[in-house]
A and B are shown apart, each in its own frame.
Chain A
Amino acid sequence: MEVGIHYAPAPQGSGARIVKPGWRVDAISVVNPNLQPGDSQQVGTDFMEWETVIGLEIHTQLATRSKIFSGASIAFGAEPNTQACAVDLGLPGVLPVLNKEAVRMAIKFGLAVGAQIAPKSIFARKNYFYPDLPKGYQISQYELPVVGKGKLTIELEDGSSKTIGITRAHLEEDAGKSLHEDFHGMTGIDLNRAGTPLLEIVSEPDMRSAKEAVAYMKKIHSLVRYLEICDGNMQEGSFRCDANVSVRKKGAPEFGTRAELKNINSFRFVERAINFEVERQIDILESGGKVVQETRLYDANKHETRSMRSKEEAMDYRYFPDPDLLPLAINAQDIQAVRETLPELPDAKKQRFMQAFGLSDYDAAILTGDRDLANYFETVVKTAGEAKLAANWIISELSGRLNKEDKLITDSPISAAHLAGMLQRLTAGAITSKMAKEVFDAMWNGEGDADTIIEKRGLKPADNSAVEKIIDELIANNAGQVEQYRAGKDKVLGFFVGQVMKLSQGKADPAQVNKLLLEKLKK
């Protein structure tokens, strides 16, 4: 998402870019000179008469301790098949027992998007054969999902917002993994992932561009992390999506024929895959062809989508209610109990940041885009006050640095307390902005807190008499420039400021220099 950010006030989400799975923030993005085909800037004006219609199915892995229907651990990265118990292996005679924590997490999500929680929902079997699907069916929800219709508002680049409908969200189990390498023409099966709880969040076909889809996906990503129901780790597959994409002539009443793009596991890929697919479909339609309804796989390496199976080849999953599981009944008390655990949600937090701290929409959006980042900010402000200053430092210096070094805010080498300490010194005038950057670098390198660094390095702003002396000398030696300034050429002030800073070896406080120069030049 390097593109689509620019310097314009950015919507929440798009200011914070995801470089690699995990959440990293970078406000100082530039237009990427190395545009990849499919990046948003490449599509546009040619296709003005066409409208893109997108719906997303987002699979979020729920952050439970154990699997959705067994007691086995869901921790990532274990040796193959060491986290698969008899239930996960689908041994004869085993039975599923629903993990109540997964249900609570689904309710949490439902409440956060204002959806109705079904008083009774049904687990169904989705039947198909695949070696990494141990039972020959996946337990999912079909006709009656746990979370019904809800909605989510996304902010767009032009500063406007749009509400995306959420059709449903349902609980299901993940399959295992087939490993095709290292087995000499055979396939290895790792069932550690089998039975991992997923919440599949299905949107309405409400998005009209790849960017909207990305904004929506990011918003969901932020939300599930706020709710602490998903770690959002896309590299490990904890958060991935399928996109239903179609195009139609602008103003057409009916949707076009859609293709389903499978298993997209990054924000960048979702944009590229959709844009590629839109282009492909428009090409077909403009050359008089017909789009076929099919499932397509996005290949990030070749940057293309290719057909997996057509509608005719679509599997008949023979869904039917799982007789091993009773209908899931959720009453008002259950819902209330979950409601009481809801954290402040991103939109509410953003509003509060704007009101309580006087932050701009842009800054507030970035800071609340990630719950950990928001917490960091609030911790800094609690100690240092100066919310706007704190926001600037966190958004530009800290996030930029984190992004560059591929670190999460939770792994920041500079703690919130250290940053607050440095900001306190800065606002007290004990160091200059330039020195603050030096302190920041030193803190980043683990040299201790601000006071320690300031003391060790003997940092202090040049005193006024020294600065005054420099200014007096400059005025005496540069009569021409003084004349120009007094004649109304304000720009000359910059020359003097620069000279003072140079002669003071940067120790002068620019604000102080400005003030003194203005006084002395007037005389």
Chain B
Amino acid sequence: MSLYRKSLAELAAGLHTKQFSSVEVTQHFLDRIAKHDKTLNSFVSITAEQALAQAKQADAQLAKGSMAALTGVPLAQKDIFCTQGVKTSCGSKMLDNFIAPYDATVVSKCKQAGLVMLGKLNMDEFAMGSSNETSYYGPVKNPWDTTRVPGGSSGGSAAAVAARLTPAATGTDTGGSIRQPAALCNLTGLKPTYGLVSRWGMIAFASSLDQAGPITQTAEDAALLLNTMVGFDDKDSTSLNRPTVNYTASLKDSLQGLRIGLPKEYFAAGLNSDVAKVIETAIAEYKKLGATITDISLPNSHLSVPAYYVIAPAECSSNLSRFDGVRFGYRCNDPKDLNDLYQRSRGEGFGAEVKRRIMIGTYALSAGYYDAYYLKAQKVRRLISDDFKRAFEKVDVIMGPTSPNTAFKLGEHSDDPITMYLCDIYTIAVNLAGLPGMSIPAGFAHNLPVGLQLVGNYFSEAKLLNIAHQYQQVTNWHTQMPKGFE
């Protein structure tokens, strides 16, 4: 089997048994990037030199036998994570010239684990988007159909893994940015419980919602990468100090007696009927694995998109204030005075979607509107959390579609932000509640991938990965690769 067809687990095993070296694997993927990424545009930076140097080091460790589980395995980082000495653009013209003087915790953890960084992945500008069309570096194409979007905001991550330009990638998920592109590109994506993965060095979009996680081919790979990414970080006040969990340990547990809840609101109008059929088939598969199915209700689901589009922009309007042309990033030419410096640096440095959200958020926080928007949205957020809390008294996992539709055409929703925002209708509530969520490949509709979303209770990542892994033992959707990239 060719190297690119291998999962993280298989690559790690091969490296451990010296079937191939890290330099070989790394070069293999660098070659694939060189060959295919002109089509996909999934990378913003390719760090070939550093990658090969890291691979050499990894090989030395492997030779000495002093390696960790993933030593020498290549990976690519979403360009939202600060990487010391390597450009961190966040998909924005604003940071096109920004080289961080430090590594994000996720990045340093991956380095310590011996993972080799191939490069930095394209994304929606400041992670704001569901199609990867808002990037300053141009849209990313979906390898399953290059006239279509890969989803967003971690679109570069999803496209690169789907085309096997990297065996795995990191992503971030504020309202669905890991799960939706994973669904649209036939991948396994996991958004952990809020606070499980450190946000230090991860450029903030909406601080109370942002969470990093893996985008991989399989649930087993997601477990391996999650083992590397999680952990308490005293540099992040919202980081949670939890006992260490080995996420691969329970992958093989039986699903006998698993209680699955199907929220009626996730199967209502708005869901593409072909997507619905795929999801129903997947649920049927779980029945065969011994699960019981319960119909549940998340009555406040319809409020999640409006609440999200108050809270996320509000936080982003403040988080993005630091991009002012004063200390780093884009600065306009010949500013006349301070206001001119601010207005033109920000006006020229930010794209349209970012500006739209800054304006929405600024408005929502303004005197006289704060109570009606921000405060109300926070109350809705509590209601949404309560819905889940009640549901998890009855069921172990909630399932449904990740996205109401399969990948749409590039440009199809560009002029219609509302339709674009509705792409995340099933994923957003999970962020508002801070719960862990996954998307796994569940089949195809009109030859385009469909993702099944799994939502678990707080800190149930091991259970979710087990549920996903067991499904992947009896299905082969996740092994399907887009044509033209083989």
Say yes or no for A137: interface residue by CB 8 A criterion: yes
B321 near A135: Cβ-Cβ < 8 Å: yes
Q: How many A-B residue pairs have CB under 8 A?
A: 102
The residue that A93 contacts in the complex, of B201, B237, B362, with Cβ under 8 A, is B201
Say yes or no for A129: interface residue by CB 8 A criterion: yes
Interface string of A181-207 (1 = CB under 8 A from B): 000000001000000000000000000
Q: Report the Cα distance A150→B362, complex, angstroms.
A: 35
Residues of B within 8 A of A127 (CB): 317-318, 321, 365
Residues of A within 8 A of B203 (CB): 92-93
Interface residues in B165-202 (C-beta closer than 8 Å to A): 199-202
A136 near B324: Cβ-Cβ < 8 Å: yes
Say yes or no for A90: interface residue by CB 8 A criterion: yes
A325 near B100: Cβ-Cβ < 8 Å: no
Say yes or no for B281: interface residue by CB 8 A criterion: no
Say yes or no for B458: interface residue by CB 8 A criterion: no
Residues of A within 8 A of B98 (CB): 92
Say yes or no for B1: interface residue by CB 8 A criterion: no
A323 near B374: Cβ-Cβ < 8 Å: no
A318 near B365: Cβ-Cβ < 8 Å: yes
Of A46-54, A94-102, A366-374, the segment with at least 4 beta carbons within 8 Å of chain B is A94-102
Q: With A129-B342, A318-B362, A318-B365 as given contacts, are A91 and B235 in contact (CB-CB < 8 Å)? A: no
Interface string of A78-100 (1 = CB under 8 A from B): 00000000100111111111100
B322 near A92: Cβ-Cβ < 8 Å: yes
Say yes or no for B208: interface residue by CB 8 A criterion: yes
Say yes or no for B82: interface residue by CB 8 A criterion: yes
Interface residues in B206-250 (C-beta closer than 8 Å to A): 206-208, 234-238
Say yes or no for A324: interface residue by CB 8 A criterion: yes
Say yes or no for B315: interface residue by CB 8 A criterion: yes
B101 near A91: Cβ-Cβ < 8 Å: yes
Q: Report the Cα distance A347→B373, complex, angstroms.
A: 48
Q: Report the Cα distance A410→B324, complex, angstroms.
A: 45
Say yes or no for A131: interface residue by CB 8 A criterion: yes
Chain B min CB distance to A143 (Å): 11
The residue that B200 contacts in the complex, of A94, A98, A320, with Cβ under 8 A, is A94
Say yes or no for B204: interface residue by CB 8 A criterion: yes
Q: Report the Cα distance A323→B319, complex, angstroms.
A: 10
Which residue on chain A has the smallest CB distance to residue B126? A92
Which residue on chain B has the smallest CB distance to residue A123? B237
Say yes or no for A134: interface residue by CB 8 A criterion: yes
Tell which of B200, B318, B370 has the most Cβ of chain A within 10 Å: B318
Residues of B within 8 A of A134 (CB): 322, 326-327
Residues of A within 8 A of B320 (CB): 136
Which residue on chain B has the smallest CB distance to residue A131? B326
The residue that A131 contacts in the complex, of B82, B206, B338, with Cβ under 8 A, is B338
Interface string of A293-329 (1 = CB under 8 A from B): 0000000000000000000000010111001111000
A318 near B322: Cβ-Cβ < 8 Å: no
A326 near B237: Cβ-Cβ < 8 Å: yes
B324 near A89: Cβ-Cβ < 8 Å: no
Residues of A within 8 A of B236 (CB): 95, 97
Q: Report the Cα distance A75→B367, complex, angstroms.
A: 37
Chain A min CB distance to B470 (Å): 36
Interface residues in B291-324 (C-beta closer than 8 Å to A): 314-315, 317-318, 320-324
Chain B min CB distance to A135 (Å): 5
A129 near B324: Cβ-Cβ < 8 Å: yes
Interface residues in B323-342 (C-beta closer than 8 Å to A): 323-324, 326-329, 338, 342
Chain A min CB distance to B310 (Å): 11
Say yes or no for B134: interface residue by CB 8 A criterion: no
Q: Report the Cα distance A93→B365, complex, angstroms.
A: 22
Which residue on chain B has the smallest CB distance to residue A317? B367
Residues of B within 8 A of A136 (CB): 318, 320-322, 324
Q: Report the Cα distance A95→B238, complex, angstroms.
A: 10
Residues of B within 8 A of A326 (CB): 237-238
Chain A min CB distance to B120 (Å): 13
Tell which of A93, A96, A127 has the most Cβ of chain B within 10 Å: A93
The residue that A129 contacts in the complex, of B100, B208, B321, with Cβ under 8 A, is B321
Q: With A93-B203, A95-B200, A323-B315 as given contacts, are A135 and B237 in contact (CB-CB < 8 Å)? A: no
Say yes or no for B485: interface residue by CB 8 A criterion: no
Q: Report the Cα distance A319→B204, complex, angstroms.
A: 18
Interface residues in B138-173 (C-beta closer than 8 Å to A): none
Q: Report the Cα distance A324→B236, complex, angstroms.
A: 8
Q: Report the Cα distance A362→B234, complex, angstroms.
A: 51
Residues of B within 8 A of A131 (CB): 324, 326, 338
Q: With A127-B321, A134-B322, A323-B208 as given contacts, are A95 and B237 in contact (CB-CB < 8 Å)? A: yes
Residues of A within 8 A of B235 (CB): 95, 97
Q: Report the Cα distance A323→B208, complex, angstroms.
A: 5
Q: Report the Cα distance A31→B222, complex, angstroms.
A: 80
Which residue on chain B has the smallest CB distance to residue A71? B235
Interface string of B86-128 (1 = CB under 8 A from A): 0010100001001011101000000000000000000000000
Which residue on chain A has the smallest CB distance to residue B198? A95
Tell which of A90, A94, A129, A326 has the most Cβ of chain B within 10 Å: A94
A95 near B199: Cβ-Cβ < 8 Å: yes
Say yes or no for B475: interface residue by CB 8 A criterion: no
Q: Report the Cα distance A316→B317, complex, angstroms.
A: 14
Residues of A within 8 A of B314 (CB): 320
Chain A min CB distance to B168 (Å): 22
Q: Report the Cα distance A438→B365, complex, angstroms.
A: 70
Chain A min CB distance to B288 (Å): 43
Which residue on chain B has the smallest CB distance to residue A81? B327
Q: With A127-B365, A320-B365 as given contacts, are A93 and B100 in contact (CB-CB < 8 Å)? A: yes
Say yes or no for A170: interface residue by CB 8 A criterion: no
Say yes or no for B273: interface residue by CB 8 A criterion: no
A93 near B82: Cβ-Cβ < 8 Å: yes
Interface residues in B73-91 (C-beta closer than 8 Å to A): 81-82, 88, 90
Chain B min CB distance to A102 (Å): 14
Chain B min CB distance to A85 (Å): 10
Q: With A129-B321, A316-B367, A320-B318 as given contacts, are A93 and B327 in contact (CB-CB < 8 Å)? A: no
Tell which of B204, B235, B237 has the most Cβ of chain A within 10 Å: B237
Chain B min CB distance to A439 (Å): 58
A320 near B324: Cβ-Cβ < 8 Å: no
B204 near A93: Cβ-Cβ < 8 Å: yes
Say yes or no for B414: interface residue by CB 8 A criterion: no
B366 near A318: Cβ-Cβ < 8 Å: yes
B238 near A324: Cβ-Cβ < 8 Å: yes
Chain B min CB distance to A94 (Å): 7
B327 near A90: Cβ-Cβ < 8 Å: yes
Tell which of A92, A93, A319 has the most Cβ of chain B within 10 Å: A92
A90 near B318: Cβ-Cβ < 8 Å: no
Which residue on chain A has the smallest CB distance to residue B95? A92
- CB-CB nearest 10 A-B residue pairs: A136-B321, A323-B208, A318-B365, A323-B207, A93-B201, A90-B322, A92-B203, A93-B82, A316-B367, A135-B322
**Seed contacts A92-B328, A125-B318, A127-B317; 17 additional CB < 8 Å A-B pairs:** A89-B327, A91-B82, A91-B100, A91-B327, A93-B88, A94-B200, A95-B235, A96-B237, A97-B234, A97-B235, A131-B338, A134-B322, A136-B322, A137-B318, A318-B318, A318-B370, A319-B365
B contact set with A: CB distance below 8 Å? 81-82, 88, 90, 95, 98, 100-102, 104, 199-204, 206-208, 234-238, 314-315, 317-318, 320-324, 326-329, 338, 342, 362, 365-367, 370, 374
- List 13 A-B pairs, Cβ < 8 Å: A91-B322, A92-B98, A93-B200, A95-B235, A129-B321, A129-B324, A136-B320, A136-B324, A189-B326, A316-B366, A320-B318, A324-B204, A325-B237
